[in-house]
Amino acid sequence: MKKYSLGYSPCPNDTFIFYALVHGKIDLDGFLLEEPVLQDVEQLNTWALSGRLDITKLSFHALGHVLDEYCVLSAGSALGRGCGPLLIAGSKMNTGDISEKRIAIPGRLTTAALLLQMFLPECTQLVEMRFDHIMDAVMTGHVDGGVIIHESRFTYKDKGLVCLQDLGEWWEKETDMPIPLGCIAVRRDLGEETIARIDRAISDSVGYAFSHPESCLPYIRSKSQETDLGVVQSHIELYVNDFSKDIGTEGLAAVQLFLEKGRKVGVLPENSLEIMQR
């Protein structure tokens, strides 16, 4: 029987979602998985361009580039309010001023990068680096500002950095929609029946994590950049919510709008395929 490849990030929201799936806590409904690959989301985004994994965490920005090959599952997505990327710097300045300076982004295919391009389209001096290197790069002056994601949201103030713009807050004011950050995507060529079974299994894994949060914690903390229990729990509470259980009508509408705006600014290619394969 074929085994399906799976990749997700080591961040607490992903390890929370996938704990039960990869630890034999739920019924996989007859399909088998290879040993999961845990990588930074930008690495997963890049791999998706060549269709490397069958099931993968993706930034919604990256999804816009691979809709011909991948579709979104109803379970496992990260959307919400008050949870967007932050544009930070070492000191307060006008966002118009920083648009002319060097800004670090956590990968060109991340949702954070596309949000910055929507917010400050005149930004051209973008410096790609791994998300957990951005704060240090700002502190040392290697870059003038940066867009931070994941656990960095909870620790940047401790390093004396300041937030110039909450990009998620800007998106919410502009659209009155939750910000779509990331999803679990599967290859379309797996077929509708297999995709549905995978979706049910991930949904069950999310349900298990919500019912047994304490049992997930050792695994989550073993993979997380930040091991402080308070940071880990805050991360999960911020990024895992009802949209993670089922993306729903509102979530799909937000994703569609995000992709349309990405096409309008010339970053995403035109594509008329449905986001989900039903």
Q: Which residues are catalytic?
A: 150
Structural contact between residues 147 and 102, judged by C-beta atoms closer than 8 angstroms:
no
Query: For 97, phi and psi rounded to 5 degrees?
Result: -70, -40
Structural contact between residues 164 and 87, judged by C-beta atoms closer than 8 angstroms:
yes
Query: 159 is written with which tokens?
Result: 């390093």
**Sequence-separated contacts (24+) of 273-276 with Cβ below 8 Å:** 273/67, 273/68, 273/71, 274/71, 275/63, 275/67, 275/71, 275/72, 276/71, 276/72, 276/73, 276/74, 276/247, 276/252
Helices (H), the chain: 12-22, 41-48, 60-63, 95-98, 111-119, 134-140, 167-175, 192-211, 213-223, 229-239, 242-245, 248-264
Residue type, 6: L
Q: What is the DSSP string of 103-142?
A: EEES-TTSHHHHHHHHH-TT---EEE--GGGHHHHHHHTS
Task: Please give the C-alpha separations between residue 2 and each of 6, 186, 244, in angstroms, as whole numbers.
Answer: 13, 15, 27
Burial class of residue 156 (count of CB atoms within 10 Å of its CB; 0-12, 13-18, 19+):
buried
Structural contact between residues 34 and 5, judged by C-beta atoms closer than 8 angstroms:
yes
